[in-house]
Amino acid sequence: MVALCGGTLEGFSFFPCLSDPHGRSNFCLKLALVMLHLTYVALLFAFDKEFIQKTNQHAWYTAAYLLLLVATLAQYFITSGSSPGYVIDAMRAINETDASGNRATSTSTQPASRKNGSVVITIDRKQLEKNLLGGTTSWEKLVMDMYAPGTSVGSVTCTYCNVMQPPRAKHCHDCDKCVLQFDHHCVWLGTCVGQGNHCRFWWYICSETALSLWTGTLYILYLKSHIPKPWWSYAVLILLLAGLSICLLFLLLLLLFHSYLILTNQTTYELVRRRRILYLRNIPERIFPFSKGACRNLYDFCCARSSMYRMEPLPTAQELEEKLRPYTCSDVLSCRCCC
């Protein structure tokens, strides 16, 4: 029997669980975002007769605009449905490929939430390490090797999930999971932005910015050609243009901010909460400990995404000393800041 909310038939889910307040909120937010995009485009066609004439004469122009609209909405849903990369999934993947072949699974009456297409795992927080690791030390050894010698297991263990966090991971209270290379929890997407979907998030911001800029330009051109007419005849368009201008300013700042984070290999959480992160407290703020140079950072972000569970160890003391070294003319010629 198929349930009306979250019903399944032979393991396939047909509807989001709208009885869940969180799921209902995400569904309403996505619906409102789609309707907002369609409203801007519909009013443009309804008011601007010249735009319709241009469509008849130059169909490619309108086709390109509508294609950008569809691509932006598609990128939004792809990003919101993607996994940011959860620590629990990485731990399972590593233990499943371990030479010992230990594939024990954990059971509990407290299931982890199923979101963003991630692996569904039920967790017993008190017995998680014992059941999941099954006596092997592959994950523990891997994580501890990423930290400085002398680091205790308790200092890198999440107090909520009871899992060992590699560097740059953080527990998200909204998702109730630890996220690899945690950036932030995006309310508009309804999911976290992390290692697995940060690149998709940047492309979504880029396409949304381009669409907003193009739409705003079309609105301005229409209002400019109808200046002699009373302004209250187009009050709705003026209000929409004002709201679009605010959104465009926010999107431009967000795009520039995340572009800076990408080039320096940082996350929003690391930049904002640097003094609260244990392994970053003693590192000068002008030093980016995980940066490999702008070009290499950009390549790793865009191209080197073969594994969702790629983790970075903390830099050694020698590497930090090299980053602290002042730049010289020879460093500029050798592109030290880029490579």
Rounded to a whole number of angstroms, the CA Rg of the chain reads 24
| Sequence-distant (≥ 6) Cβ neighbours of residue 95 within 8 angstroms | 102, 103, 132, 133, 134, 136, 138, 139
Q: Which residues pair with 191 in a beta bridge?
A: 186
Torsion on CA atoms 116, 120, 125, 127, rounded to nearest 10: -150
Specify burial of residue 229 (Cβ count, 10 A radius: 0-12, 13-18, 19+).
Answer: exposed
Catalytic residue among 5, 17, 158, 186: 186
Q: Are 320 and 290 in contact (CB under 8 A)?
A: no
- Residue 163 token pair: 């899992």
Annotated active-site residue 186? The verdict is: yes
CA distance 48 to 108: 59
Catalytic annotation, residues: 186
